[in-house]
Amino acid sequence: MKTMYWKDDLLYLLDQTLLPHEIEYLVCGTYQDVITAIKTMIVRGAPAIGVAAAFGMALAYLAGEDLEEVACQIKDARPTAVNLFWAVDRVLDAEDPLIEALHMYEEDIQTNRSMGKHGAAVIDEGDTILTHCNAGALACVDYGTALGVIRAAHEEGKNINVICDETRPVLQGARLSVWEMQQENIPVKLIVDGAAGRLMQEGQVNKVVIGADRVAKGGIANKIGSLMVALAAKRFNVPFYVAAPKSTFDNENSIYDIEIEERNPGEVLGFAGCQAAPIGTEVRNPSFDVVPSDLITGIITEEGIVDPFKDSFHPLINLFYF
Ligand code: MRU
């Protein structure tokens, strides 16, 4: 199942709001279609948002639009994943936006495969790995970042088990990560987010591997709930790894400068379309956490694994701890 593909000057996006029960592609013929798809999370996950945005720029180029103006509009679609800004700027600097977008599409797959290879080295035979949200093929063009590491370990023949946090309120873990693991025949169990600490306390988790929406000075940003998982992992001595490609690195900002997307209160007020909380309840719905470096064992990249302490002034990451 492809997350997205380009055919006859149109972008096809697998509608992730309908997964896993309905498989439907949205056809985008304009850059505005792509913006709507990013805002409504038809396409989601940092690398996938980046590549879709690149194709949005390509659509605008083919339609003869003012690319500087379109770039501002596309960058406005969601604030936290840095891949969106990285991808739009890269296409803006390119001679041919369509060729660049197609190049980024292929590059994403290769990057994830290299990341998987590096990451698989820290996964041991018999490990049970906990993951949060969906940093899988669906969050990318293919293969995935955190789930790419798990896929690679499985492809190497290691017997592993996966635990997926459901990831309230949009349920990327329950709907998307569990589905991806089942398709690969990797043993997987689903838990509510609040059970992650309990399972670590019981000694049932050997590693945590999650993705990132941004790696910045001082740590990473990832789906809400990631901080609680990291804190529990620290308390129970479970190694906590983050898998992220270079396109997710922001070398300018600190994690505390990142704009954290606040989403619709309706996502929290109810469940599966039914109101659960009393009418009129006030809500906070931050969509991302930031996790400081002192809670991170290593960052798995396509170039190798970086230790946020030992490599605290790594030229690639500049991940100084504070
Ligand atoms: O809001 P989403 O679904 O776009 O959230 C982003 C994510 O998918 C996760 O935070 C993920 O773990 C990192 S992206 C590979």
Per-residue pLDDT tens digits for 141-181:
999 999 999 999 999 999 999 999 999 999 999 999 999 99
Rounded-to-integer distance, Cα 137 and Cα 134, Å: 9
Q: Does residue 140 sit within a domain?
A: yes
Q: Are residues 165 and 294 in the same domain?
A: yes
Q: Does residue 115 sit within a domain?
A: no
The verdict on the CB of residue 91 being under 6 Å from ligand 1 is no
- The band of 319, judged by pLDDT with boundaries at 50, 70 and 90, is low
Q: Does residue 239 sit within a domain?
A: yes
Q: Are residues 74 and 189 in the same domain?
A: no
The verdict on the CB of residue 222 being under 6 Å from ligand 1 is yes
Q: Does pLDDT of 318 surpass 90?
A: no
Q: Are residues 234 and 313 in the same domain?
A: yes
Q: Are residues 201 and 226 in the same domain?
A: yes
Q: Are residues 193 and 103 in the same domain?
A: no
Domain count, the chain: 2
Atom of ligand 1 lying closest to residue 47 CA: 15
Q: Are residues 219 and 103 in the same domain?
A: no
Q: Are residues 94 and 136 in the same domain?
A: no
What is the pLDDT, as a whole number, of residue 21? 96
Separation of 95 CA from ligand 1 center, angstroms? 30
- Mark which of 109, 129, 158 sits at the end of a domain: 109
For Cα atoms 175, 180, 181, give the angle at the middle one, nearest 5 degrees. Answer: 110
Q: Which residues contact 197 (CB under 8 A, 6 or more apart)?
A: 228, 232, 235, 236
The verdict on the CB of residue 211 being under 6 Å from ligand 1 is yes
Q: Does residue 213 sit within a domain?
A: yes
- Mark which of 109, 138, 165 sits at the end of a domain: 109
Assess contact for 179 and 214: CB atoms under 8 A.
no
Q: Does pLDDT of 321 surpass 50?
A: no
Query: Residue 22's domain is classified under what CATH number?
Result: 1.20.120.420
- Closest residue by Cα to atom 15, ligand 1, is 135
* Residue range 67-113, pLDDT digits in tens: 999 999 999 999 999 999 999 999 999 999 999 999 999 999 999 99
* Residue range 9-50, pLDDT digits in tens: 999 999 999 999 999 999 999 999 999 999 999 999 999 999
Q: Does residue 196 sit within a domain?
A: yes
Of the candidate ranges 39-48, 213-222, 283-292, 304-313, the one whose mean pLDDT is the lowest: 304-313
Of the candidate ranges 8-12, 117-121, 242-246, 248-252, the one whose mean pLDDT is the lowest: 248-252
Separation of 45 CA from ligand 1 center, angstroms? 4
Rounded-to-integer distance, Cα 219 and Cα 9, Å: 39
The verdict on the CB of residue 219 being under 6 Å from ligand 1 is no
Atom of ligand 1 lying closest to residue 170 CA: 3
Q: Does residue 49 sit within a domain?
A: yes
- The band of 308, judged by pLDDT with boundaries at 50, 70 and 90, is confident
Rounded-to-integer distance, Cα 34 and Cα 21, Å: 23
Q: Are residues 136 and 244 in the same domain?
A: yes
Whole-model pTM: value is: 0.95
- Mark which of 48, 81, 109 sits at the end of a domain: 109
Query: Residue 242's domain is classified under what CATH number?
Result: 3.40.50.10470
Q: Are residues 129 and 245 in the same domain?
A: yes
Q: Are residues 68 and 145 in the same domain?
A: no
Mean pLDDT on 191-211: 98
What is the pLDDT, as a whole number, of residue 273? 83
Q: Which residue has the higher pLDDT, 319 or 170?
A: 170
Q: Are residues 146 and 173 in the same domain?
A: yes
Asked whether the bond before 169 is cis by omega within 30 degrees of 0, the reply is: yes
Q: Are residues 94 and 181 in the same domain?
A: no
- The DSSP bridge partners found for residue 290 are 221
Q: Does residue 116 sit within a domain?
A: no
Domain span holding position 100: 4-109
The verdict on the CB of residue 151 being under 6 Å from ligand 1 is no
Q: Does residue 114 sit within a domain?
A: no
